[in-house]
Amino acid sequence: MTFDFLKKYKEKFALIFSKGERKLRDFFADNGFQCDGCGKELFDYPVHRFCAECEEKMGYNDGRNCPKCGRKTVAEGVCLSCKSRLPKFTVGLSPFVYRGETASFINRMKNGAPVLAAYFGERMADCFLEKFAQHSAVAGGKGILVVPIPLTKEREKTRGYNQAVELAEFFCRRLKDKGVEATLDVELLEKRRETAQQKHMNYRERQENVSGAYHVHKRSACRGRTIVLIDDIMTTGATGSECAARLLGAEAKEVIFMVGASLPELK
């Protein structure tokens, strides 16, 4: 279906360009037919949101990864971070490794370029389906509940958006397009107090920093549900673990922590 659509589409454009309709081409380039990564013209947008050059730079989280948190590991089995403290979420998953160009794209999405959430949200959905297509909640079950990690109301106002909400929207939309029952709930979790910048904190400090900051707004909505918790990055996993603990405390069946990119295990 997608392939046919793409083929038709390409043929149509090839015809237009062969006739030298340069103006039309410029019109489309100015109106969204551009790579979300570098702005170069991209005629099969949004089938592809990144051009081949940008796609080439992305660090996919393939190969060996931690069976608990999903980060790329140097050896077989659970990563060192999970070994020292097992996160509360059921399992973690990420399509990309938080390194190099991938980290730059993620940071841009977070700091002023929410348009990049479309690319990451869709890759997250593909990664999720690859792993959970046969999961009881996905394959004809109750469906999944998609919950982005919230910012405080004040922070969201200052930034203008919450990148986790943007990701969750595209994640949900893609799953629905693939026939998966996915419900987005941006109000289930609430962040009630501001937490300090976590950049230079270790796991224990981060855990103390986030402890009690998140509140489950509608406890009854969690009961028995498979929840996919969405965030942009996983570093130590402390925030995901804290939110998952709250959701599981409200009797969620399981919490899958789905992020755009996760920090790899350090050698």
Residues 17 to 46: which contact Zn ion by CB under 5 A? 35, 37-38, 40
Token representation of residue 172: 């949900």
Minimal distance, residue 27 CB to Zn ion, in Å: 20
Binding segment for Zn ion (CB under 5 A), chosen from 50-58, 186-194, 212-220, 227-235, is 50-58
Amino acid at 13: F
Minimal distance, residue 53 CB to Zn ion, in Å: 5
Token representation of residue 6: 């793409």
- Please tell me whether residue 115 adopts helix, strand or coil conformation: helix
Size of the site for Zn ion (CB under 5 A): 11
Of 40 and 204, the one with the shorter C-beta distance to Zn ion is 40
Q: How many CB atoms lie within 10 A of CB 42?
A: 23
Among 49, 68, 174, 246, contact with Zn ion (rule: CB under 5 A): 68
Q: Does 175 bind Zn ion (CB under 5 A)?
A: no
Among 51, 125, 227, 259, contact with Zn ion (rule: CB under 5 A): 51
Burial group, residue 176, by CB count within 10 angstroms (0-12, 13-18, 19+) = middle
Of 54 and 252, the one with the shorter C-beta distance to Zn ion is 54
Of 54 and 229, the one with the shorter C-beta distance to Zn ion is 54
Among 34, 61, 79, 163, contact with Zn ion (rule: CB under 5 A): 79
Among 54, 125, 175, 250, contact with Zn ion (rule: CB under 5 A): 54
Of 108 and 217, the one with the shorter C-beta distance to Zn ion is 108
Token representation of residue 94: 């990420």
| Residue matched to tokens 């270790």 | 202
- Determine phi and psi for 25, rounding to 5 degrees: -60, -45
**DSSP codes of every residue in 30-82:** HTT-B-TTT--B-TTTTTSSS-HHHHHH--B--SSB-TTT--B-SSSSS-HHH
Residues of the shown chain interacting with Zn ion in the complex, contacts defined by CB under 5 A? 35, 37-38, 40, 51, 54, 66, 68-69, 79, 82
